Amino acid sequence: MNFLTRALRQPTGAPSALFTALLCLLLAHPTLAQIGAKALFSATREQVYQIRVIDLASGDKFSIGSGFRVSGDGRIATNFHVVSSYVHEPEKFRLESVDHLGNTLPLSLLAIDVVRDLALVSDATTTASFLTLATQELSNGDRIYSMGNPLDLGMTIIEGTYNGLVEHSRYRNILFSGSLNAGMSGGPALNANGEVIGINVAKGGEQISFVVPVERLRALLEKSTTPTPGTGFSAEITSALLADQQRFYEAMLAESHTRKRLGDLEIAGELSPSLRCWGHSVDEPDMRYEAAHQHCTSEDQIYVSDDLYVGELRYDVESLSTTELNRFQFYNLLEERFEHRNFYNTDDTEAVTAFSCHDDAVALNSGRWKLSSCFRAYTSLPGLYDASLVMVSLDYPQKAAVIKIAASGISKDNALKLLRAVAEAAAWKP
Amino acid sequence: METLIVQSGIKHGRIAELTRANGERLSIGRSYDNDLVLTDIHVAPRQVAFFRDEAGWHMQVLDTTNPVFLNDRKVGGDTTPLVHCGDTVTVGRTRLSLYSAQRSVEKTRKLRLANWLSRDSGNGFLPVLVLLVFALADFGLTFAESSTSLNWGEPAYGQLMAVVIAVLWAGIWALVGRIIRHQPHFGLQLMAAASVMLLTTVLVLGAEYLAYPFHSVRVSELFAWGASFLLFALLFYLNLTIATQLLNARAVAIAMSALIITVLYAFTEFGNSEDEQMALWPEYSTTLAPPVLPLPRGASADDYFARLRQQVDTLAEGR
């Protein structure tokens, strides 16, 4: 307010500049911006639904999410994870939608894209009004809106900022600086014109949310132009995951990777641009050894069911050396580090087999290493495995390296290639 | 039965009181004109008399204030049952055994650890030395082997606890010995505990390195359980031999050790609440190439990955 009165008392001569400044100020004001959200909300709320998975035995809702109408022939888009319990156990659940007035309609499942967490359901009603998919590109900083039913509290609109596509990720989702909440999954992300730019999918942290770009939805819609409600979805999940890992690892293994120096060790650097790498070194005064550490992880997790995620890739290298520790002490230091990376992608002992490991000393070009490789298979996804390698060099009593690679949801062939490529990439450079 | 002998109490491996019948009659009671005088206040001044006729020795109860039992059967004042070699008589709080002078005795048993058992009293030097050797060896190994920073406290604390446990253990068995044989043999018990602990230190090292040639933690685990069983059995055997007169100390020691190992195994294997989650973790050999052992030549990468592929194939089949 101070600023306004002072500005108005300014001598005439720059009235247009003053007006522009005022206009900018007003537009940036939250109450004014909300008019956009308000209009959007009333214009689109009829097309946004709560999607419910109903437990047949109790008749109550088992899980909820959001969805929105994307065509005149009854198709509603949502997330795969919203309807996944129905996909896995269609005999135990049914699907229904609830519109803004509280009317419910039964839904059938049309198509899924498990890799990008999308699903199409249908309520089989013909209507002229549905949300249109945006075609124009957004630029960073554009205001975008997201609708959904957070925590079953009622239909909500939130606004935030478009911040481009997520970097260092296998599946480049839109980074939405706004606060999505549980239950908003599957709801639409809209531009200022009320066109769909993506589908709400996940929350990364305070004011960090992720939205699947609308192109993926468009592809899924094209795939489902001939609505064929089916039940063969579990085979489709497996083949989609197999195809996705094939694309990813084929590209990764074909590429020649930059070399990276870590102590006396040269290794394959960042295996994939989708990995996020961190480094640190240990040289505290009371520690009698030096260590340089690089750890890379992909934060891409594909939701398969509440108890199973796949798609993780971790790559860890630690180079250690000492002048003070004796052989035994250094050896124990290494032994402590000779640990497989834990997989936290499932808690369900039924979902995976027990690990089967093969441990041996192996003579590589870079010298002798102890290798331990462990595999486990998924009980419901034939052909996909969790694979982990940990290896430590044996040749030198005062320097050593520990290399770890772990991939979840990978085919046998790709896993063996990946493990071998990583094992053979290491080289000592004195 | 030629001559009747009444025996009461055993102390320090000797019979405390042995009363031999002089002639045809033997009387027992609290008054001083008896052949065997008992100080038990529950015993009458003239309690029991034994007399001989053609059939043999008979017992007669002279006072019925408290019941008198012959081999746990009550004897009334009006009967005079025959007594035999090996019978026991109970009256008041006193228990007596009856023998014949012709009774044959058990053949002399060989005393194990006889030199030690006879030399024990007052000689505390050797046990303390063994305990010290154990503590220093264990500390030295732990420190030299695994300390990555100059931290003396942690391993030293471990050894201190081990020494305290050894002393307590020996103390408990000394008490057992004091009760059963009236000789505590604390020094000897301490040496037994310390020697077994020293042996444990060495075997633990072996168990860790055993995984190396086999590339299997299972081998290590089996070895560790087997070694624990033998060590416990040895410890119990020594403890029992020193503290008791058990005829079959070896069998008892093995049984006790088996019981302890079974309970421990069941506890670690089934009592772990995280067991369910443990199934989700890989089990693999963590032993690399221990410094004391020669480096392996190493399989070729082709061989290693071919074998790994085979293993994954069987995994897929078993799915």
pLDDT digits (tens, 9 = 90+) for B11-38: 555 666 788 887 889 999 999 999 999 8
The residue of B312, B313, B317 whose CB has the most chain A CBs within 10 angstroms, and thus the best one to mutate to test that interface, is B312
pLDDT at B166 (0 to 100): 94
Q: What is the tens place of the pLDDT at every residue in A344-372?
A: 888 888 888 889 999 889 999 889 999 99
CB contact under 8 A, B299 and A359: no
Count of CB atoms situated within 10 Å of the CB of B71: 14
* Residue B285: closest C-alpha in chain A: A359
CB contact under 8 A, B304 and A362: yes
Categorize the per-residue pLDDT at A136 as very low, low, confident or very high, splitting at 50, 70 and 90: confident
Residue bearing the bigger pLDDT, A145 or B142: A145
E-strand stretches of A168-207: 174-177, 188-190, 196-205
CB contact under 8 A, A371 and B300: no
- Alpha carbon of B316: minimum distance to chain A alpha carbons (Å): 7
Q: Cα(A118)–Cα(A123) distance, rounded to whole angstroms?
A: 17
Q: What is the tens place of the pLDDT at every residue in A159-210?
A: 888 888 888 888 888 888 888 877 788 889 888 888 888 898 888 777 888 8
Closest CA to A216 of A145, A101, A114: A114
- Alpha carbon of B165: minimum distance to chain A alpha carbons (Å): 27
Categorize the per-residue pLDDT at A415 as very low, low, confident or very high, splitting at 50, 70 and 90: very high
The answer to whether B190 and B198 have CB atoms below 8 angstroms apart is no
Q: Report the mean per-residue pLDDT for chain A.
A: 83
CB contact under 8 A, B148 and A392: no
pLDDT at A5 (0 to 100): 29
pLDDT at B295 (0 to 100): 81
CB contact under 8 A, A328 and B145: yes
Residue with tokens 């462990």: A374
Buried b (16+ CB within 10 A) or exposed e, A88-109: beeeebbbbbbbbeeeebebeb
The answer to whether B5 and B100 have CB atoms below 8 angstroms apart is yes
pLDDT at B149 (0 to 100): 60
* Sign of the alpha-carbon torsion through A377, A383, A388, A391: positive
The amino acid occupying position A295 is H
- Percentage of chain B surpassing pLDDT 70? 91
The answer to whether B128 and B191 have CB atoms below 8 angstroms apart is no
E-strand stretches of A322-366: 356-364
pLDDT at residue A11 is higher than 60: no
pLDDT at residue A259 is higher than 50: yes
The amino acid occupying position B176 is V
The amino acid occupying position A361 is A
For residue A3, the SS3 value is helix
CB contact under 8 A, B305 and A424: no
pLDDT at residue A34 is higher than 50: no
A82: its two tokens: 């919203």
The answer to whether B11 and B28 have CB atoms below 8 angstroms apart is no
Whole-prediction pTM value?
Answer: 0.74
Question: Nearest Cβ partner of A370 from B289, B305, B312?
Answer: B289
Q: What is the tens place of the pLDDT at every residue in B193-218?
A: 999 999 998 888 777 777 777 767 77
* Residue B150: closest C-alpha in chain A: A286
Which positions in chain A touch B306 (Cβ < 8 Å)? none
Categorize the per-residue pLDDT at B10 as very low, low, confident or very high, splitting at 50, 70 and 90: low
Which positions in chain A touch B215 (Cβ < 8 Å)? 359-360
What would the mean pLDDT of B141-158 be, rounded to a whole number? 72
DSSP-assigned states of every residue in chain B = --SEEEEEEEETTEEEEEEE--TTEEEEESSTTSSEE---TTS-SS-EEEEE-SS-EEEEE---SS-EEETTEE--TT---B--TT-EEEETTEEEEEEETT---PPPPPPTTHHHHHH-TT--HHHHHHHHHHHHHHHHHHHHHH-SBS--HHHHHHHHHHHHHHHHHHHHHHHHHHHHHS---HHHHHHHHHHHHHHHHHHHHHHHHHHHHHT-HHHHHHHHHHHHHHHHHHHHHHHHHHH---TTHHHHHHHHHHHHHHHHHHHHHHS-TTHHHHTTS---------TTSPPP--EEHHHHHHHHHHHHHHHHHT-
pLDDT at residue A246 is higher than 60: yes
- Residue A387 makes CB contacts below 8 A (sequence gap 6+) with A373, A374, A375, A406, A407, A410, A415, A416, A418, A419
CB contact under 8 A, A353 and B295: no
Categorize the per-residue pLDDT at A1 as very low, low, confident or very high, splitting at 50, 70 and 90: very low
Categorize the per-residue pLDDT at B304 as very low, low, confident or very high, splitting at 50, 70 and 90: very high
Out of A146-155, A258-267, A308-317, least confident range: A146-155
Question: Nearest Cβ partner of A329 from B145, B301, B307?
Answer: B145
pLDDT at B120 (0 to 100): 56
Q: What is the tens place of the pLDDT at every residue in B224-274?
A: 899 999 999 999 999 999 898 888 899 999 999 999 999 998 888 776 655
Categorize the per-residue pLDDT at A272 as very low, low, confident or very high, splitting at 50, 70 and 90: confident
B interface with A, Cβ–Cβ below 8 Å: 144-151, 215-216, 276-277, 279-291, 295-301, 304-305, 307-309, 311-316, 318-319
Q: Which domains does chain B have, with CATH numbers?
A: 4-100 (2.60.200.20), 114-273 (no CATH)
pLDDT at residue B150 is higher than 80: no
What number of CA atoms fall less than 13 Å from residue A249's CA on the CB side?
25
Q: What is the ipTM of this complex?
A: 0.81
